[in-house]
């Protein structure tokens, strides 16, 4: 399911505190575990951070870097994403049926889950808070350009924005445009240019110059 819209309006981060019943249950369980001293708060925070920002997105970055550097793999990824991603061993719950959406100079893809927070865990880890928030879920469909602008992504009027609604049966991963000047980079270096947000569509791949800031040659 895709949408293309252009309305403007509300701040997608304004209702992060309007938690769902499931979120409240999870937080209650976290509190109980901490209270019973079954888990340390710092350890719990570290675990969540690892799966939200490190292990998961790093997997997806490897997939994208391979697609950028290997045309045959890219063709397989766009034809049968689930099988191509499984070549890396990234399979399992929340990632059984995948579709990869390719960004171009004329098309920008944005992923949302309007009903809950369906998300491709094997390649992106845990979904960020804003992805699960009701404002993002609603506004990404109604006013995608405004939402993208709030994430720092400003697109020309000639660029079509396509919004894809993930479901329990189908998850999406965005293949961002390859950054200019990256032709001579290794696959490992290319992976460093891929961010979680770029694979959701709320961001772009990092410029090649960012590698020098990380101490890469």
Catalytic pick among 69, 118, 166, 182: 118
Please say if 113 is a catalytic residue.
Answer: yes
- Calculate the CA dihedral of residues 207, 66, 63, 144 and round it to 10 degrees: 40
Catalytic pick among 15, 20, 82, 117: 117
Please say if 216 is a catalytic residue.
Answer: no
Please say if 117 is a catalytic residue.
Answer: yes
Give the 3-state secondary structure of 123-182. Answer: HHCCCCHHHHCHHHHHHHHHCHHHHHHHCCCCCCCCCEEEEEECCCCCEEEEECCCCCCC
Beta strands in 37-126, from DSSP E residues, in sequence order: 98-102, 107-112
Catalytic pick among 15, 20, 31, 116: 116
Please say if 118 is a catalytic residue.
Answer: yes
Any idea which residues carry the catalytic annotation? Answer: 113, 116-118
């Amino acid at each position: 399911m895709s949408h293309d819209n252009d309305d403007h309006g509300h701040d997608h981060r304004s209702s992060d505190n309007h938690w769902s019943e499931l979120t409240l249950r999870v937080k209650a369980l976290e509190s109980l575990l901490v209270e019973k001293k079954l888990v340390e708060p710092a350890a719990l925070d570290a675990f969540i951070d690892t799966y939200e920002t490190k292990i998961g997105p790093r997997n997806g970055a490897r997939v994208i870097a391979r697609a950028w550097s290997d045309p045959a793999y890219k063709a397989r990824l766009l034809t049968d994403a689930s099988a191509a991603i499984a070549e890396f061993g990234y399979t399992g719950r929340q990632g059984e049926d995948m579709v990869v959406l390719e960004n171009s100079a004329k098309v920008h893809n944005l992923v949302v889950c309007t009903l809950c927070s369906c998300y491709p865990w094997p390649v992106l880890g845990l979904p960020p808070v804003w992805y699960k928030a009701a404002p993002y879920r609603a506004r990404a469909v109604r006013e995608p350009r405004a939402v993208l602008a709030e994430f720092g992504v400003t697109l020309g009027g000639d660029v079509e924005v396509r919004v894809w609604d993930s479901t329990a049966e189908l998850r999406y991963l965005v293949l961002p445009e390859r950054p200019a000047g990256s032709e001579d980079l290794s696959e490992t270096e290319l992976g460093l240019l891929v961010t979680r947000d770029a694979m959701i569509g709320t961001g772009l791949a990092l410029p090649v110059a960012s590698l020098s800031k990380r101490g890469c040659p």
